[in-house]
Chain A
């Protein structure tokens, strides 16, 4: 990390290194429209995928926390997609998004909607990746929520039922507060993960069309390993670090308002 911080202060092309101070950073902010484009794409992706992912995985965890027949099979089925390697799932989704004969457009066709060129039309590409992110909601985050749900003592619910609380009130006043530390953890992880989106865009669209899916990590990769602008790429990596640190600190500050830890005095 320290060497990458040092590199960000150099103009370094793998052969010659020249100290330039904060020039890499200045050029990023002032002279590189693609930096802003990649940042905007990544912010939009994060803004939609993190809440969707957290709520989706919570919903699935709630469903899988019921006492129903075949529960283990359901849990396995929901977890399976997250076991698929990123490259394989990218190829699979390429087929789902196929404008000509993909599943998604066939479903839209049942409702009389026109075909959408998900990966070819720059208006839709980013939304295709947002949709694709839902593929992982049954994975790690859902398991963490499930573990959190199973850690809530049954006696809380029994006491609430005796006081006349219905299902929604139990969820609102017992489940949500008890799950808040887990939700906070998942939010932080989700934000970090969303900001680092890379593989799907690298394989499916290479950042195209016309940079519509140029995500920040992909742009770092391009600068480092295709253009050999290691100083610039290091500066970009540190900008990403600062952004993630800022968001995490904001989340931690806000968490004091809504995250409840067991045994905590307020």
Chain B
């Protein structure tokens, strides 16, 4: 050992001790909360945790931030290995499957004995999403419906009436939508598309179109697919026709690498969740935009609503504290900050959604009540514990219809229905 090494060794050995100061949270109950989001969203949630810690001196919430790409796997592994945080957010797509595995704590007793918690304060779908067999297994966050974002500037330039006016006059139908989309689609002198009227919505955002034509993906009992029924086929055909018949939506190749994103100003109308609003507010500077409801189909007008859930794992050591923190995250103050001030998504609380502050349209979108209408009209997706499996089988069979190598929705719908039926007929878990 050199002299220098022998001199440095005690200091190196003492390094771990330097981090061992007095525990700043001694005497407090520590719980962990886990969620995903982009850096801005996570920073905001960190502020919420800090605020809760400030208001609750007996508790310290440690916020675990996990990248969205890894979140699903990490949360599943943590739940399965009994190492999950005390409160965690799960996407509703996975909620039924994870609940079915008995990973979540039944929160009904906490809800029943909490005098400040009233189910009627919330939009019914937000409670339904968290309820299984009448028992409450989570609270809803990041809720909202699907709407059409539209480029007002492009519409004005094309001499089109504002679609909101059409909506008010009950003329905002899929026929009108196609007329608008075609009018907003442009080519340059060489025949290359430089602007598209709309986009073909990805799954599950095309589902309301199928509903509009009276079709459905699956029956109420979740035993049979209904994609081979004429109404569903008509809806699927309409979705594909946006690309290959009406030529008003980019093909997958044309749309690749975000060539015609809504933000680029080269897209007239765009289907997405309400949660896109903060991004468009930040990014879109060169044109005016707003929102309008999804058009009415020949059979009905319906959009889809979905949220995410914050849940408590079944083995949580501090369920009362976890419930207290969940109530804070879904309380009026936080909902005002998240959904009124930042427009991150849509409030789960009726009082917040119907407040004067929420309807402030000084920043785009100005037609805020469209969001409320979307939720009031909104229909839930038929998400069950095998959703991932049967929708994968369905989408595999619809790929050809969406990429234009097959043009008949009857053939694709039948094949998709058969694939879904095969999955549903098999015993789960194999």
Contacts and interface: CB of A to CB of B under 8 A. Distances in A.
A94 B97 contact: no
B392 A120 contact: no
A16 B430 CA distance: 12
A74 B256 CA distance: 32
B114 to A, nearest CB: 28
Interface of B is mostly: helix
B253 A210 contact: no
B257 A98 contact: yes
B101 interface: yes
A119 B251 CA distance: 12
Interface stretch (A57-65, A126-134, A158-166, A225-233): A225-233
Among A98, A101, A119, A210, the most chain B Cβ lie within 10 Å of the Cβ of A210
A195 B11 CA distance: 48
A122 B76 contact: no
Nearest to A202: B69
A154 B395 CA distance: 60
Nearest to B103: A15
B319 to A, nearest CB: 20
Interface in A199-237: 208-211, 222, 225-229, 231-232
Contacts of B430: 11, 23-24, 27, 31, 229, 232
Given A11-B429, A211-B396, A120 B251 contact: yes
Interface residues of B, number: 32
Nearest to B76: A225
Contact of A121 (B392, B396, B403): B403
A144 to B, nearest CB: 31
B388 A227 contact: yes
Contacts of B388: 226-227
B102 A15 contact: yes
Contacts of B73: 225
A227 B100 CA distance: 12
Interface of A is mostly: loop
B97 A228 contact: yes
A95 B257 CA distance: 6
Contact of B253 (A13, A99, A122, A231): A99
Contacts of B254: 100
B361 interface: no
A14 interface: yes
B101 A14 contact: yes
Contacts of B404: 120
B76 A210 contact: no
A94 B101 contact: no
Interface string B4-43: 0000000000000000000000000000000000000000
A16 B76 CA distance: 14
A94 B259 CA distance: 12
Interface string B240-273: 0000000000011110110100000000000000
Contacts of A100: 251, 253-254, 256, 259
Nearest to B256: A98
Nearest to B257: A95
Interface in A64-93: none
Given A98-B256, A100-B259, A121 B101 contact: no
B72 A117 contact: no
B337 interface: no
A67 to B, nearest CB: 42
Contacts of B405: 121-122, 209
Nearest to B386: A227
A31 B430 CA distance: 10
Interface of B: 72-73, 76, 79-80, 97, 100-103, 251-254, 256-257, 259, 386, 388-389, 392, 395-397, 399-400, 403-405, 428-430
Interface of A: 11, 13-16, 23-24, 27, 31, 94-95, 98-101, 117, 119-122, 208-211, 222, 225-229, 231-232
7 contacts: A27-B430, A99-B256, A119-B252, A119-B253, A120-B403, A225-B76, A228-B97
Given A15-B101, A209-B399, A227-B388, 18 more contacts: A14-B101, A14-B103, A15-B100, A15-B102, A23-B430, A24-B430, A94-B257, A101-B259, A117-B403, A119-B253, A120-B253, A208-B399, A210-B399, A210-B400, A228-B97, A228-B101, A229-B430, A231-B429
